Amino acid sequence: MTGSKKRGVWLFVLVMVMVLGSALPVCATGVFPADGFYLVEVALWHETLDQPSMGDQAFQTNRRALAQVKNGRVTQVEFAANPVDIGGYHSGITELRSDAAPALYELETGQMVTSPAGNRYNYIMRAAFTLPEEAQPAESAEPTSIRIQFLVPDTPMGNQYMTGRLRLIWRSALATDETHLTVQTENAKKDSLLEDAATGIRLTAGAGRLGADARLSVKSVTDGEEYTRAKAALAASGNFRLFWIRTDAGGQEAAPQGQVTLAFPCGTEPLVYRMGDNGGKTVLTGTWADGYYTVNTSRLGLFALCDGSRADAFTDITGHWAADRIRKAVDRGLFSGVSDTLFAPEASMTRGMLVTVLGRLRKAEGKAEGVPFTDVKPSAWYAPYVGWACAHGLAAGKSATTFAPDDHVTRQELAVFLLRYTGYAGISLKTGAGSDYTDNDRIAGWAREAVERISAAGLLAERANHTFAPEKDATRAEVADALAHLIEDYAL
C-alpha cells in the first residue's frame, strides 16, 4: 500500500471514530461511560451521623443496587432488602417512604413471621425510586444519599418509623446486563443486639464477639463498697446512676471478644464513666440521639451515668474566665471537646464549627446533599449545617464553589454571623451603651453595624485595653460565651 493510501485509510478511521464516538451516550458526570444498567454498592446510614444505621442489617446480603442510566443521568435506582436475625429478634423492613424521593415504590414482597412476637408480615424484598437531581453523582463520584423512613416491627427499635440515609457508592459502579436485581433472601446475622428489659440498656456486638446464647445482665448498684467508691470519685459530677453490666452464657459470665456498643436510655445527654477497680474513672464520649446515649467500650463492668456538666471532663477550662459559659454551651449540646478531656478554649473558631454550633442552637435539620461547594463533602460533620446556614442567608461561600470550612473566623466576622442569626431567629436584641473601643478605626465598614449592635447587647466581650480586636481570630471560648448569653438573655 502506498503512503498516500495509508494516510487515506487512517484519515477515514479517525473520522469514523469521531463520528461514532460522538453518537455514544456519555454520562454528564463522568461516572458512567455509557447509558445502561450498573450495579452500585448501597448501605443504610444514620440520619445525621457518619456511620451505618441500625437498620443497615436489612441490606447485609443485598449490598448492590441497580442504577439505570439514560441520556447520561441516573433515572431509576432499584434496591433489595433481606430479613434480619439480631439478638434473638427476627424481622425485616415492612414499610418504606421518602420525602426526598417521592417516586419510591415496592416491586416485590415476601412473607415473614417475626420472633419472638410471632406476627406475620409482608416484608419488602425489592423497591425502586427515581433519583432526584440533587442526588445525581458528581464528577468526583463521591457518595450521595436519599433520606428515607423505614419500619422494622416487633424489635427493640419499636413499631415506629425511623429515619436513615440510603447511601449510594458511585465509585463502585460496574456495568451489567441485568435489568432487574436478583434478591438474596438469606437472613442477616452480623450483629447481636441484647436489651435489659428493666433498665432499657442495650448492647450491640459484632459478628463472633458473643456466643449465640449470650444474655445481657444489668444490675443497678445503690449501696455497698462499689457505690461508696463511685460516690467519692464522682463527687463533682452531680447526681448519678450506677450500673454493673456484663454478658452471660449458660449462667456464667462470658465477656465479649472485642469492642461492643452500649446504648443508655436518657432524657438529656449524660456524662458516662466506666469506673475502675481502684476508684478511678474513665469518661466515655459517645453520641446522643433518639433518646439514647451510645458509647463504644472494649470492657464491661461498672458504669456511671451522671447528671453533671459534660464539661467537667475538660481539664483545660478550670479557672478560665468563660468556664461557666462553656459548661452551659456544652451541656446544651452545642460544643464537643477536641478530645475526651480537652475543650481548647483558646483555639480559633472555624467557619465549619461556627455554622454547626449555630445550627445546633436552632435545632436545625440541614441537608448535606446538594451543597454546591467542592470543599464540603456530604459526609463531613458540618455539611448539613453549611447547607442550612447558606439556605437561610446566615453564611455564604468564599466563592461560587468553595465554602472554606477550615478558615478561621475573625471577631468582626463573628459579630456579623451573630447579627444575622438573631435576625433569622426573630430575636430583638437588647440595647446598651454603645461601643467605644480604642481600635474602632480598625473595624471594617461592612462589620461596623454588627459590632455595634452585638457589643451593645453584651454578646461579645472586649479584649485587653478596651479593644475589640476585629481582625483577630474569635476563640472557641468567646463563641461559647456569646451563645450562652443568647440562651440566658433570650430564654432560648
C-alpha cell, 330: 456544652
Q: In whole angstroms, give the CA distance from residue 126 to residue 201.
A: 33
**What residue ranges in 87-239 does DSSP mark as E strands?**
89-91, 95-97, 105-113, 120-130, 144-151, 162-176, 192-195, 202-205, 215-220
- Asked whether residue 337 falls in the same domain as residue 464, the answer is yes
| pLDDT in the model for residue 82 | 87
Q: From 119, 144, 176, give the residue that closes a domain.
A: 176
The boundaries of the domain holding residue 118 are: 36-176
Residue 235 region by backbone torsions, left for phi larger than 0, else alpha for psi between -120 and 50, else beta: alpha
- Asked whether residue 352 falls in the same domain as residue 474, the answer is yes
Per-residue burial over 169-182, b = 16 or more CB atoms within 10 Å of its CB, e = otherwise:
bbebbeeeeeeebe
User: What DSSP string describes 330-384?
Assistant: HHTTS---SSSS---TTSBPBHHHHHHHHHHHHT----STT---TTS-TTSTTHH
Instruction: Evaluate if residue 45 carries a pLDDT over 70.
Output: yes
| pLDDT in the model for residue 27 | 39
| pLDDT in the model for residue 132 | 87
Instruction: Evaluate if residue 21 carries a pLDDT over 50.
Output: no
Helix (H, G, I), strand (E, B) or coil at 455: helix
Break the chain down into helix, strand, coil percent, rounded to 5: 25, 30, 45
- Asked whether residue 56 falls in the same domain as residue 123, the answer is yes
Residues 6+ apart with CB under 8 A from 108: 124, 125, 126, 183
pLDDT, mean of residues 157-181: 86
- Asked whether residue 45 falls in the same domain as residue 152, the answer is yes
**Confidence at 466, pLDDT banded by 50, 70, 90:** very high
Between 423 and 213, the more confident residue is 423
Q: What is the pLDDT of residues 358-405, one digit of tens each?
A: 998 988 877 777 788 999 998 898 999 999 999 899 999 999 999 999
Helix (H, G, I), strand (E, B) or coil at 139: coil
Q: In whole angstroms, give the CA distance from residue 35 to residue 55.
A: 32
Instruction: Evaluate if residue 187 carries a pLDDT over 70.
Output: no
- Asked whether residue 341 falls in the same domain as residue 451, the answer is yes
**Confidence at 11, pLDDT banded by 50, 70, 90:** very low
Q: What percent of the chain has pLDDT over 70?
A: 89
- Asked whether residue 355 falls in the same domain as residue 479, the answer is yes
Instruction: Round the average pLDDT of the chain to a whole number and report it.
Output: 85
How many Cβ atoms sit within 10 Å of the Cβ of residue 1? 8
- Asked whether residue 352 falls in the same domain as residue 264, the answer is no
Question: Is 324 a domain residue?
Answer: yes
**Confidence at 22, pLDDT banded by 50, 70, 90:** very low
Is the torsion defined by CA of 480, 483, 489, 492 positive or negative? negative
| pLDDT in the model for residue 9 | 45
| Locus of grid cell 444490675 | 219
CB 394 within 8 A of CB 417: yes
Specify the pTM. Answer: 0.47
- Asked whether residue 226 falls in the same domain as residue 369, the answer is no
- 476-489 vs 351-362: helix axis angle to the nearest 10? 20
Q: In whole angstroms, give the CA distance from residue 26 to residue 32.
A: 7
| pLDDT in the model for residue 424 | 92
**Confidence at 255, pLDDT banded by 50, 70, 90:** confident
| pLDDT in the model for residue 191 | 61
Question: Is 413 a domain residue?
Answer: yes
pLDDT, mean of residues 43-69: 84
| pLDDT in the model for residue 440 | 93
Question: Is 249 a domain residue?
Answer: yes
Burial class of residue 56 in the structure, from the number of CB atoms within 10 Å of its CB (0-12 exposed, 13-18 middle, 19+ buried)? buried
Question: Is 130 a domain residue?
Answer: yes
Helix (H, G, I), strand (E, B) or coil at 194: strand
Question: Is 207 a domain residue?
Answer: yes
Q: In whole angstroms, give the CA distance from residue 138 to residue 401.
A: 13
| pLDDT in the model for residue 414 | 97
Number of domains within the chain: 3
Give, for 68, the enclosing helix (H) or strand (E): strand 64-70
Q: From 176, 208, 232, give the residue that closes a domain.
A: 176
Instruction: Evaluate if residue 16 carries a pLDDT over 50.
Output: no
Q: In whole angstroms, give the CA distance from residue 258 to residue 209.
A: 6
- Asked whether residue 219 falls in the same domain as residue 112, the answer is no
Question: Is 3 a domain residue?
Answer: no
Question: Is 396 a domain residue?
Answer: yes
Question: Is 457 a domain residue?
Answer: yes
pLDDT, mean of residues 199-217: 83
Give, for 454, the enclosing helix (H) or strand (E): helix 448-456
Q: What percent of the chain has pLDDT over 90?
A: 43
CB 467 within 8 A of CB 308: no
For residue 300, the domain's CATH number is: 2.60.220.30
| pLDDT in the model for residue 19 | 38
User: What DSSP string describes 143-184?
Assistant: -EEEEEEEE--SSTT-SS-EEEEEEEEEEEEEEES-SSPPP-
| pLDDT in the model for residue 291 | 84
pLDDT, mean of residues 114-125: 88
Q: In whole angstroms, give the CA distance from residue 447 to residue 414.
A: 9
Least reliable range by pLDDT among 131-140, 203-212, 411-420, 425-434? 203-212
| pLDDT in the model for residue 237 | 63
